[in-house]
Amino acid sequence: MKTVKFISGFCVVKLIEENFISLNPSSGESMLPTIQPQNDWLLIWNFLRSYSFLDNLMIGDVVVAMKPTSSNTRVCKRILAKEGDIILLDPASKSKLSTVAYYLNNLEKDNCFEHKFIRVPKGHVWLGGDNTEFSVDSRNYGFVPIGLIEGKVIYHINFNKSFYKFEKLVNSYKDI
Protein backbone atom coordinates (compact mmCIF):
# COMPACT_ATOMS: atom_id res chain seq x y z
CA MET A 1 0.00 0.00 0.00
CA LYS A 2 2.86 2.38 0.82
CA THR A 3 4.40 1.71 -2.59
CA VAL A 4 1.17 2.65 -4.37
CA LYS A 5 0.94 5.91 -2.37
CA PHE A 6 4.59 6.68 -3.10
CA ILE A 7 4.17 6.05 -6.84
CA SER A 8 0.94 8.09 -6.91
CA GLY A 9 2.62 10.95 -5.07
CA PHE A 10 5.62 10.83 -7.39
CA CYS A 11 3.32 10.93 -10.46
CA VAL A 12 1.44 13.95 -9.08
CA VAL A 13 4.69 15.82 -8.36
CA LYS A 14 6.04 14.99 -11.83
CA LEU A 15 2.77 16.10 -13.45
CA ILE A 16 2.89 19.42 -11.59
CA GLU A 17 6.59 19.93 -12.37
CA GLU A 18 6.24 19.28 -16.09
CA ASN A 19 2.93 21.03 -16.71
CA PHE A 20 2.40 23.77 -14.15
CA ILE A 21 5.33 24.95 -12.06
CA SER A 22 8.91 23.83 -11.56
CA LEU A 23 12.00 24.87 -9.61
CA ASN A 24 15.32 24.70 -11.48
CA PRO A 25 18.87 25.87 -10.71
CA SER A 26 20.45 28.58 -12.81
CA SER A 27 23.75 28.16 -14.59
CA GLY A 28 25.85 30.39 -16.80
CA GLU A 29 26.49 34.10 -16.83
CA SER A 30 24.21 35.14 -19.69
CA MET A 31 21.49 36.61 -17.48
CA LEU A 32 23.71 38.58 -15.07
CA PRO A 33 22.87 40.75 -13.15
CA THR A 34 19.21 39.66 -13.16
CA ILE A 35 19.95 36.01 -12.38
CA GLN A 36 23.13 34.85 -10.68
CA PRO A 37 25.05 31.97 -12.30
CA GLN A 38 25.27 30.06 -9.01
CA ASN A 39 22.99 29.74 -5.98
CA ASP A 40 19.95 31.09 -7.86
CA TRP A 41 16.94 28.85 -8.35
CA LEU A 42 14.22 29.73 -10.82
CA LEU A 43 10.53 29.22 -10.18
CA ILE A 44 9.11 28.63 -13.65
CA TRP A 45 5.48 28.75 -14.67
CA ASN A 46 5.34 25.99 -17.27
CA PHE A 47 2.86 26.25 -20.10
CA LEU A 48 0.67 23.37 -21.13
CA ARG A 49 1.90 23.95 -24.69
CA SER A 50 -1.14 26.14 -25.18
CA TYR A 51 -0.89 29.14 -27.44
CA SER A 52 -3.36 31.06 -25.29
CA PHE A 53 -0.68 31.21 -22.57
CA LEU A 54 2.09 31.88 -25.05
CA ASP A 55 0.15 34.79 -26.54
CA ASN A 56 0.32 36.51 -23.16
CA LEU A 57 4.11 36.66 -23.21
CA MET A 58 5.45 40.19 -23.43
CA ILE A 59 8.68 41.74 -24.59
CA GLY A 60 10.91 41.79 -21.52
CA ASP A 61 9.62 38.55 -19.98
CA VAL A 62 12.28 36.04 -18.96
CA VAL A 63 11.52 32.58 -20.32
CA VAL A 64 12.99 29.10 -20.39
CA ALA A 65 13.12 27.49 -23.83
CA MET A 66 14.70 24.54 -25.55
CA LYS A 67 17.79 25.70 -27.42
CA PRO A 68 17.00 25.53 -31.16
CA THR A 69 20.39 24.04 -31.98
CA SER A 70 20.32 21.38 -29.22
CA SER A 71 17.07 19.73 -28.16
CA ASN A 72 18.53 18.48 -24.86
CA THR A 73 19.68 21.95 -23.74
CA ARG A 74 17.45 24.54 -22.11
CA VAL A 75 18.21 28.26 -22.08
CA CYS A 76 16.94 31.07 -19.88
CA LYS A 77 16.66 34.30 -21.87
CA ARG A 78 14.65 37.52 -22.14
CA ILE A 79 12.16 38.06 -24.97
CA LEU A 80 13.48 41.02 -26.95
CA ALA A 81 11.04 40.85 -29.88
CA LYS A 82 7.89 39.00 -30.88
CA GLU A 83 6.45 38.10 -34.27
CA GLY A 84 6.15 41.09 -36.57
CA ASP A 85 8.68 43.18 -34.63
CA ILE A 86 11.71 44.53 -36.47
CA ILE A 87 15.22 43.81 -35.21
CA LEU A 88 18.31 45.85 -36.03
CA LEU A 89 21.13 43.33 -36.39
CA ASP A 90 24.32 44.07 -34.52
CA PRO A 91 27.02 44.72 -37.13
CA ALA A 92 29.67 43.24 -34.82
CA SER A 93 27.64 40.07 -34.35
CA LYS A 94 28.97 36.83 -35.73
CA SER A 95 25.41 35.78 -36.44
CA LYS A 96 24.69 34.02 -39.70
CA LEU A 97 21.68 36.33 -39.92
CA SER A 98 24.04 39.27 -40.48
CA THR A 99 24.53 38.03 -44.02
CA VAL A 100 20.83 37.55 -44.74
CA ALA A 101 19.51 40.06 -47.24
CA TYR A 102 16.50 41.38 -45.33
CA TYR A 103 16.60 45.10 -45.84
CA LEU A 104 13.61 47.28 -45.10
CA ASN A 105 12.92 50.34 -47.22
CA ASN A 106 16.05 49.69 -49.31
CA LEU A 107 18.34 50.80 -46.50
CA GLU A 108 21.26 48.79 -47.86
CA LYS A 109 24.24 51.11 -48.01
CA ASP A 110 27.45 50.03 -49.73
CA ASN A 111 26.79 46.44 -48.65
CA CYS A 112 27.76 47.23 -45.03
CA PHE A 113 26.00 45.95 -41.92
CA GLU A 114 24.91 49.25 -40.43
CA HIS A 115 21.35 49.21 -41.77
CA LYS A 116 20.35 45.54 -41.70
CA PHE A 117 16.92 45.06 -40.27
CA ILE A 118 15.04 41.82 -40.01
CA ARG A 119 11.39 41.12 -39.19
CA VAL A 120 10.61 38.38 -36.67
CA PRO A 121 8.52 35.80 -38.55
CA LYS A 122 5.11 34.61 -37.44
CA GLY A 123 5.25 32.06 -34.61
CA HIS A 124 8.75 33.08 -33.48
CA VAL A 125 10.49 35.28 -30.91
CA TRP A 126 13.93 36.85 -30.61
CA LEU A 127 15.65 35.94 -27.32
CA GLY A 128 18.64 37.59 -25.67
CA GLY A 129 20.64 37.40 -22.49
CA ASP A 130 21.02 40.43 -20.23
CA ASN A 131 24.80 39.97 -20.20
CA THR A 132 25.33 40.22 -23.96
CA GLU A 133 29.08 39.64 -23.78
CA PHE A 134 28.59 36.13 -22.36
CA SER A 135 25.27 35.22 -23.92
CA VAL A 136 24.65 32.72 -26.69
CA ASP A 137 21.20 33.73 -27.89
CA SER A 138 19.18 34.64 -30.98
CA ARG A 139 22.15 36.59 -32.29
CA ASN A 140 23.82 33.19 -32.69
CA TYR A 141 21.00 30.75 -33.41
CA GLY A 142 18.38 33.05 -34.91
CA PHE A 143 14.65 33.16 -34.35
CA VAL A 144 13.19 30.80 -31.77
CA PRO A 145 9.90 29.06 -32.58
CA ILE A 146 7.33 29.93 -29.92
CA GLY A 147 6.65 26.21 -29.43
CA LEU A 148 10.13 25.80 -27.92
CA ILE A 149 9.25 28.10 -25.01
CA GLU A 150 8.62 25.91 -21.99
CA GLY A 151 7.72 28.51 -19.40
CA LYS A 152 8.07 31.95 -17.90
CA VAL A 153 10.37 32.65 -14.94
CA ILE A 154 8.20 34.22 -12.26
CA TYR A 155 10.54 34.17 -9.22
CA HIS A 156 14.18 33.63 -8.54
CA ILE A 157 15.49 32.49 -5.20
CA ASN A 158 19.06 33.18 -4.15
CA PHE A 159 20.42 30.60 -1.72
CA ASN A 160 23.63 32.32 -0.62
CA LYS A 161 25.30 31.01 2.53
CA SER A 162 24.70 34.26 4.42
CA PHE A 163 21.13 35.03 3.29
CA TYR A 164 18.15 33.77 1.32
CA LYS A 165 16.38 36.09 -1.07
CA PHE A 166 13.02 35.25 -2.69
CA GLU A 167 12.38 37.83 -5.40
CA LYS A 168 9.62 38.18 -7.98
CA LEU A 169 11.01 38.65 -11.48
CA VAL A 170 9.30 41.82 -12.69
CA ASN A 171 9.24 42.78 -16.34
CA SER A 172 10.93 46.18 -16.31
CA TYR A 173 10.40 46.80 -20.02
CA LYS A 174 7.69 49.42 -20.44
CA ASP A 175 5.77 50.55 -23.48
CA ILE A 176 6.36 54.22 -24.16
pLDDT in tens, 5-42: 778 767 767 776 667 788 889 999 999 999 988 889 99
Residue 2 lies in a domain: no
Q: Which of the two residues, 113 and 46, has the higher pLDDT score?
A: 46
Predicted local distance difference test score (pLDDT) of residue 110? 45
Residue 164 lies in a domain: yes
Residue 108 lies in a domain: no
The one catalytic residue among 26, 30, 135, 138:
30
Q: Residue 159 maps to which CATH number?
A: 2.10.109.10
pLDDT grade for 113, boundaries at 50, 70 and 90 = very low
Residue 29 lies in a domain: yes
The one catalytic residue among 5, 52, 67, 77:
77
Whether residue 108 is predicted with pLDDT greater than 60 in this model: the reply is no
Residue 9 lies in a domain: no
* Mean residue pLDDT across the chain: 80
Predicted local distance difference test score (pLDDT) of residue 139? 87
Residue 151 lies in a domain: yes
pLDDT in tens, 85-105: 998 877 666 555 654 433 443
Q: In the beta sheet, which residues pair with residue 124?
A: 145
The domain in which residue 64 lies consists of 24-85+120-168
pLDDT grade for 79, boundaries at 50, 70 and 90 = very high
pLDDT grade for 83, boundaries at 50, 70 and 90 = very high
* Active site (annotated) includes residue 77: yes
Predicted local distance difference test score (pLDDT) of residue 164? 75
Residue 112 lies in a domain: no
pLDDT in tens, 123-168: 999 999 999 999 999 988 889 999 899 899 999 888 876 667 788 8
Query: How many angstroms separate the first and last alpha carbons of the chain?
Result: 60
Poorest-pLDDT segment among 9-13, 44-48, 113-117:
113-117
Please tell me the total number of residues recorded for the chain in this structure. Answer: 176
Q: What one-character-per-residue DSSP string does the chain give?
A: -HHHHHHHHHHHHHHHHHHTEEEEE--SSTTTTTS-SSSEEEEEEE--S-HHHHTT--TT-EEEEEETTEEEEEEEEEEEEETT-EEEPPTT---GGGGS---STT---TT-STT-EEEPPTTEEEEE-SSGGG--SHHHH--EEGGGEEEEEEEEEEE-SS-EEEEE--------
Predicted local distance difference test score (pLDDT) of residue 96? 57
Mean pLDDT of 57-70: 93
Model pTM greater than 0.85?
A: no
Number of domains in the chain: 1
Predicted local distance difference test score (pLDDT) of residue 74? 93
Residue 55 lies in a domain: yes
